[in-house]
Structure 1
């Protein structure tokens, strides 16, 4: 069997490209062939992806389309006679970008508008979460193939030093790093005076990182650290140094950092939006109230209650096991097998 993966863009660090690489590894183990192509390719990915024009499936092959962005160049793939499977990684709603980067907002709006058309022209449709699949009227789910090996073994002791909140994710408006900055201000003013915040992720634009730096410097000088371009080992070190993982994103299709935090043993507080509740299960405290003062109290509870922290670590390990390699690989194979 040959499965050809088709992406709108391939990069060295993005979740969709990483997922495609992981899938290709599985295909090789199963004795399946095929090639991986993308409409746009970052030179840093090397030869792991070929240009879209190189796509040359044979009769009977399967095309796996990873959908995560506006992809007009992939429209020609829909015209091909081979069996097509679409896997939706979700597209962020445009409303989060209009006030910051209208060009990105337009691409998001078009991407969400285009998605139902692409789905209708594929024989099989699925999402990386039930949230993503439901947007397309499907109940087929193939979660992210999570490999914690690069993060090392779960930590065995609490981190030293002052309380450190961590968030890992793209620096973008819908990820709400601005609220996390305000949250650490509340904590420092209400019983946790030495609280710190570490924000890890690549900015949607360099100027957006500078805006967040200015906000942090104005509201919490010296309390917020920004880190970009980390290696896997450096990312693992940030998780090991974290007292809490706190995510206040307004939109998430899946949220891999939840599983990363669970694996290392970092208690998690997260806003229950999109795919986060099905990833977190019962292993996180949900910040359902929009009032940041309520979230600050949740953080204090999770920092101070050792029994609660132990329970969250235990439940987090169970969530990682739920998304173990074997079951997810079986779901993928069931999706692609005829």
Structure 2
């Protein structure tokens, strides 16, 4: 028997790709043949030690095998999964609602809308649908999937090891508070709201900086919109890092005073957990899967009251006792997350189809 996984693409260091590698270890430890497959368009020599072309899957698999599809956007992988033989399982990483991209990147909006439609089409042919958060599971249920569950992401904590970029550390240390956000500069992340909150924070902490760590080149119209807001507010010390090295990422995490996320749509939001790992107090807007990920830790922002958000961030910076209380609660959340029996839970969910003897 085989337990294979298919992904739209595989990228080293990417959360979904790392997750698939970790699950493959489980399946192989259970004694099953297990490989990861990606479409030929996204297959290259750099991943040939980890993946195989999707075109090879059909000749290797049978109707008794399990095929797990990591669904994050509709593409040809969804069509293959729908038509394939075997026991079909989806792990749903969520799809950003199309309306966020309708103006700044219409072609992306179309792809996202098509992805939502493909998800609906897969409901009738899928044996088990798993979300990486309870929020995602509820979306699967609403889409018509009969059997659903939650199986959280794994986090490669070793990826947080290493030596931070010393030049960056020396450049910013002692020069004012740093508000950090990590993620792509795209509309659902609501970077404009971060700018507005930072405007009010800057009134309290004039030396502060806002670091927006993530790629902005894929959404140039949105980036220009953000630049206009910066000019209108006469904001200084807003840093768009673009692509960063691993050492630079570590440095920004080490430097951050507060991690602030005002995103309106997240299927899990891994950077929240990374920030907790670095002992950074986390403030995050209570939207989509964020409350599931935070699980009572950090500071959950219920309303986008920018002056109030700024005042809370300043309090965290100025009150060591309050700051430590938040960090302590976040470490408890991390311990809870790490102790989740992922392999045991996954085996239980697959038990109707696998031989556990």
TM norm structure 2: 0.86
- Counterpart selection for 1:285 from 286, 290, 299: 299
Residues 306 and 203 of structure 1, relative CA distance in 2, 3 Å threshold: same
CA radius of gyration, larger in: 2
Q: 1:114 maps to which residue?
A: 118
* Contact 1:164–1:244 (Cα < 8 Å) also in 2: yes
Pairwise CA distance, 1:16: 2.1
| Pair 1:141 & 2:150 matched | yes
Gap change, CA 1:14 and 1:297, over 3 Å in 2: same
* Distance (Å, rounded) in 1 between the aligned partners of 2:111 and 2:339: 33
Note the C-alpha offset of 1:301.
Answer: 1.9
Gaps of at least 5 residues in structure 2 are 142-146, 165-172
Moved more, 297-306 or 246-255: 297-306
Q: Note the C-alpha offset of 1:262.
A: 0.9
Correspondence for 1:3:
3
Query: What SS does structure 2 have at the residue aligned with 1:246?
Result: strand
CA–CA distance in structure 2, aligned partners of residues 14 and 300 of structure 1: 33
Q: Alpha-carbon deviation of 1:139?
A: 4.7
Match of 1:151 in 2: 160
Give 2:181's match in structure 1, choosing from 150, 167, 187: 167
- Between 273-282 and 324-333, report the one with greater CA deviation: 324-333
Equivalenced residue count is 333
Q: Indicate the SS of the match to 1:194.
A: coil
Cα distance change of structure 1 residues 80 and 177 upon mapping to structure 2, 3 Å threshold? same
In the TM superposition, what are the counterparts of 1:24-39 in structure 2 within 5 Å?
24-39=24-39
CA shift at 1:17, angstroms?
A: 2.1
Greater CA drift, 244-253 or 224-233: 224-233
Partner of 2:260: 246
Shift, 1:221, TM fit: 4.9
Change (3 A) 1:237 1:24: farther
Structure 1 pair 80/43, CA: closer, same or farther in 2 (3 Å)? closer
Q: Distance in 2 between matches of 1:130 and 1:23?
A: 19
| Other structure's SS at 1:203 match | coil
Q: Judge conservation of contact 1:145–1:329 (CA < 8 Å) in 2.
A: no
Q: Which residue of 1 aligns with 2:64?
A: 60
Deviation at 1:212, TM superposition (A): 3.6
Shift of residue 49 of structure 1? 2.3
Separation (CA, whole Å) in 2 of partners of 1:176 and 1:2: 42
Aligned in 2, Cα 1:231/1:28: closer, same or farther, shift over 3 Å? farther
> Which residue in the other structure is 1:46 paired with?
47
Q: What is residue 20 of structure 1 aligned with on the other side?
A: 20
CA shift at 1:206, angstroms? 5.3
Contact 2:88/2:126, CA 8 A, preserved across alignment:
yes
- Cα RMSD for the two superposed structures: 2.3
User: Could you tell me how far 1:177 is from its partner in structure 2?
Assistant: 1.4
Any idea what the Cα deviations from partners look like across 1:75-132, whole Å, max 9, x if unmatched?
1322222101111100000110001101100111111122122132111111000100
Taking structure 1 as reference, are residues 237 and 119 closer, same or farther at Cα in structure 2, changes over 3 Å only?
farther
